[in-house]
Structure 1
Amino acid sequence: MNEAMEMLKLLAPFIVLEVALKIFCLVSLKKDKVKYLPKIGWVLVIVLINTFGSIAYLIFGRQKY
C-alpha cells in the first residue's frame, strides 16, 4: 500500500499535465477551425489517444488563419 502511494505521488504531476492538455485542446477545438478530420474525429483522437492525440491535434489539426 505504501508503494502505491509513493507511485501516485510521483505520477500526480504528469496526470495533472495530461488532463490540463486535454482540456486546453478541447476548448481550442471548440473555437478553432480544423483540418483533416471533422471536429468529432478530433475529439475522439484527443480523448482516446493519451498525450499523442492532443499533440497531434495541436500540430496537424488546427487550421492556421
Structure 2
Amino acid sequence: MLRILPPLLVLALWIWAFIDCLTTPEQEARHLPKVAWVIIVLLFPLVGSIAWLVAGRQRAARTAGGPSGARGGRPTAPDDDPEFLASLDKETPHKDARHHEDMLKRWEADLRRREEELRGRDEPEDGPRR
C-alpha cells in the first residue's frame, strides 16, 4: 500500500499540473511560452510539474476591475459590479425606451385580440343566453 502512494501522488500532481497548464491563459504563463510549458510538463512529469507550479504561472490575486473582472480570482456577478450597472444607464438611449413602449402596446393589443377570440368561442352559436 505504501509503495503505491508515492507514484499515485506523482501521477495526481502531473495530471493537475498538465490541466492547469493547458487552461492557463497565454498571458499568465511566465518565463517561457505556454506551449513550451506544456511540453516540459508532459516530458518530465515530476520535475516539469514542480517547475510549472513554482515558476510557470502568475499567482497574483486579481482585484476588482482587473483584466478578467474578477475579485480575488473569482468572477464577479454583473449585479454586484457597480461599473457594469452604471454602464447600463449609459448604453440605453431614449429611443430604446420608446421601442419598448411600442412593443408593449403591440403585445397588449395582441392579448386583447386573443381574449376576444376565446370569448367568441365560448359563446353558443345562436348568441348569448339571458
TM-score > 0.5, shorter chain as reference = yes
CA contact 2:22–2:38 (8 Å) conserved in 1: no
Residue 42 of structure 1 corresponds to 37
Residue 29 of structure 1 corresponds to 21
Superposed displacement of residue 20, structure 1: 0.6
Per-residue CA deviations over 1:14-46 (Å, capped at 9, x if unaligned) read 111111101111111122221111122111211
Q: Give me the identity figure in percent.
A: 33
Distance 1:44 1:29 in 2: 10
**Quick check: 1:60 aligned with 2:55?**
yes
Residue 11 of structure 1 corresponds to 3
Q: More helix per residue: 1 or 2? A: 1
4+ residue segments displaced more than 6 Å = none
What residue ranges of structure 1 are gaps of 5+ in the alignment?
1-8
What is the RMSD computed on CA atoms of the aligned residues? Answer: 1.7
SS at match of 1:51: helix
Q: How many residues align?
A: 57
SS at match of 2:53: helix
What residue ranges of structure 2 are gaps of 5+ in the alignment?
61-130
Using CA pairs below 8 Å that are at least 6 residues apart, which structure has the higher relative contact order? Answer: 1
Distance 1:58 1:44 in 2: 14
